[in-house]
Structure 1
Amino acid sequence: MDPMDSTTYKEIFQQPQAFLAVNQDLELIRQTVQDVFSRRKIGQVIFTGCGTSLYLAQTAAALFSHYNSVKAQAVPCSELYFHPQLYIGGGETLVCPITRKSVTTEVRLAIKRVHEFPNVQSLAITCCSGSREYNEDMILSSDANEDSVVMTKSFTSMVYLCAILAMTAGGRDGELEQMAAEIPGLCRRALPDLDSLARRILAEHPKTNLYITLGQGVFYGIANECMNKEKEMSLSNSESYYSLEYRHGPMSLVDENTLILQLASQDTGNYESGLLREMKEKGAAVAVFGEKASGLWDFADYAYFAESGLNDLQLSPVAVLLGQLLGYHAARSKGLNPDSPRHLSQAIVIS
């Protein structure tokens, strides 16, 4: 199959346009966020989602916690539906469902359930205007609707929305403006290079049978999504961890058929590079994605550094790109069609 015949591949490369579309709506998005936080004194924020959107919620909670003093956490929709009392209470709560499609049953059930509690409002972070039906407010990625089953541009554009939400609520206009100016162009420049890098990694390690992605802080949820892309598209064994947790048992599986992708944080590089040196000694191939090139990573087999001047939080909307492309090309190397992943559909609707 020619890559350009693949809907998934095309949509991976449409991510710069999705970022530009969000930028066109930036003032409306910021105004919506400001209105939400001005109406009530919000005491906690709960980001919720299912599958990929849960990993996105983990990233959103890290972003929001960094820029704001208000408590934020990520909770699966099913957990919020079954056990809302564990999470709701003690003041004004903003629940933010993250969803590509507004029809996902667990999302609707969770939001209906939390609205049974006093002092709860919801702000949808979405690619679907239908989310307006069951939420007080909504911020929308208007050009991220997908035909493919697996989430690619919807994921990255909603990470972008979450970063805008966090920075706006935290009054970090300067960082927001810098991110908005850099992210679309950075994504456009990075995609061809990362595509070539993914192809090269897989060509040079055709027997890879375990994919590991590691990340700390804002990169942890994104590491989980990289793991998910390998599972969904290529039906590969894949795992993800907080970086330094990998030493505590999971590294027992490392051998010459293991690929480790490190999402390298700018403030934890000494620790992460030390870990990856150990894993390489045990036989793993090592790939790194991050912002700044450093002598810390000279040992890596493969690396891409953005050199954009952005911090990790600003870089988060594009940190998943190599994971997406590894999943896509691993699928093709196995003769699988990434447009038709086994057992999956765009939205889970429970009758």
Structure 2
Amino acid sequence: MSATTIEIQSQPALWQQVASNPVPAELSAHGRRMLVIGCGTSAFVAMAYAALREQAGYGETDWAYGSEVPLTRRYDTVIALTRSGTTTEIVDALPQIDAETKVVLTAVGGGPLSALVDHEVLIDFADEASVVQTRFPTTSLALLRHGLGEDLTRVVAEGERAVTDELPVEPTAFEHFVYLGTSWSIGLAYEAALKMREAAQAWSESYPAMDYRHGPIAVAGPNSLVWMFGTPPPGLVAQVQATGATVVTSDIDPLAQLVQAQRCAVAVADARGLDPDQPRGLTRSVVLAR
């Protein structure tokens, strides 16, 4: 069994762990203007959390890639998401951001970011052996959602089923994978597509659900799997099915859906004889030469 698979299976227990403990106040920063940054997977978590935080009434929230931070704006709080705590773009960006309070949420403490922030929030129990991230990002988002006052009981229960129940579709039957989301689940759709590219070297795309009809649907066909996170917009399922594509929808929490999508990526990787723990061209952390 791959490390990626073991780490996927561990996620619901980790979500329960964060749901059972207090959340550092600096993470939610109620009423403060916030920027959340990350790279790759962490950027998609930042995207999802920014939408959730504003919807919860906690304050104006932006998100950005670490390489594309808005340097002309001022924030009360900036949160950097990084599994390794060593990502070059984050290390370079933090000193340039005008923010009163700087926080890093990481799985590895004491790294180069520690000296650049006011608070280091460590979830080392969610660290990973695999290069492909699964449990660190989802546990980070579970922690952040808990900090917004969400009751994670249903999320944990649905996550437990997501790691044991039969997958909603046989993913190895497809060559083309599309993930769609709305609101905060757009970030999770982007992350699901990334997992399929990383682990399985497969053709995958991701879009806001309403925007899919504005061009991308043109390449959907019988070999396509179109997976919708959250509630599909009216009429979209039928329109996608008319292309011959297979559509997956669900009423479970999008975080649990992401677990299913992770499992699909590993299944496709296994079918192609690939090692999901060691994806081609990738390393655990992007650390650039100076």
What TM-score results when the alignment is normalised by the length of structure 2? Answer: 0.92
Deviation at 1:150, TM superposition (A): 0.5
**In structure 2, what is the Cα distance between the partners aligned to 1:290 and 1:134?**
41
Aligned residue number for residue 201 of structure 1 = 170
For structure 2, the residue ranges without an aligned partner over 5 or more in a row are none
Deviation at 1:20, TM superposition (A): 2.8
Deviation at 1:141, TM superposition (A): 2.5
> Cα–Cα, structure 1 residues 96 and 33, in superposed 2: closer, same or farther, change >3 Å?
closer
Aligned residue number for residue 303 of structure 1 = none
Deviation at 1:33, TM superposition (A): 4.2
Aligned residue number for residue 183 of structure 1 = 155
Deviation at 1:106, TM superposition (A): 0.9
| Number of residue-to-residue matches in the alignment | 287
Aligned residue number for residue 85 of structure 2 = 102
**In structure 2, what is the Cα distance between the partners aligned to 1:251 and 1:346?**
33
Deviation at 1:319, TM superposition (A): 3.2
Larger Rg computed on CA atoms: 1
**In structure 2, what is the Cα distance between the partners aligned to 1:261 and 1:285?**
8
- Determine which of 223, 231, 245 is the counterpart of 1:257: 223
Which AA in structure 2 matches 1:135? Answer: V
- Determine which of 106, 128, 135 is the counterpart of 2:108: 128
Which AA in structure 2 matches 1:324? Answer: Q
> Cα–Cα, structure 1 residues 142 and 134, in superposed 2: closer, same or farther, change >3 Å?
same
Structure 2 contact 78–102 (Cα < 8 Å) conserved: yes
Residues 162-311 of structure 1 mapped to structure 2, 5 A cutoff: 162-165=144-147, 167=148, 173=149, 176=150, 178-179=151-152, 181-193=153-165, 196-197=166-167, 200-203=169-172, 205=173, 208-265=174-231, 269=232, 271-272=233-234, 274-291=235-252
- Determine which of 136, 150, 160 is the counterpart of 2:132: 150
**In structure 2, what is the Cα distance between the partners aligned to 1:201 and 1:329?**
9
Structure holding more helix per residue: 1
Aligned residue number for residue 3 of structure 2 = 7
Structure 1 contact 30–164 (Cα < 8 Å) conserved: no
Deviations 1:97-135 (A, max 9, x none): 111110111111111221xx3x53212222222354321
Kindly indicate whether residue 279 of structure 2 is the aligned counterpart of residue 337 of structure 1: no
**In structure 2, what is the Cα distance between the partners aligned to 1:209 and 1:49?**
29
Structure 1 contact 94–122 (Cα < 8 Å) conserved: yes
Deviation at 1:69, TM superposition (A): 5.3
Which AA in structure 1 matches 2:96? Answer: R
What TM-score results when the alignment is normalised by the length of structure 1? Answer: 0.77
Which AA in structure 1 matches 2:284? Answer: Q
**In structure 2, what is the Cα distance between the partners aligned to 1:339 and 1:253?**
30
Deviation at 1:316, TM superposition (A): 4.4
**In structure 2, what is the Cα distance between the partners aligned to 1:123 and 1:290?**
34
**In structure 2, what is the Cα distance between the partners aligned to 1:182 and 1:253?**
36
Deviation at 1:164, TM superposition (A): 2.4
Percent identity at matched positions? Answer: 26
> Cα–Cα, structure 1 residues 321 and 210, in superposed 2: closer, same or farther, change >3 Å?
same
For structure 1, the residue ranges without an aligned partner over 5 or more in a row are 168-172, 292-314
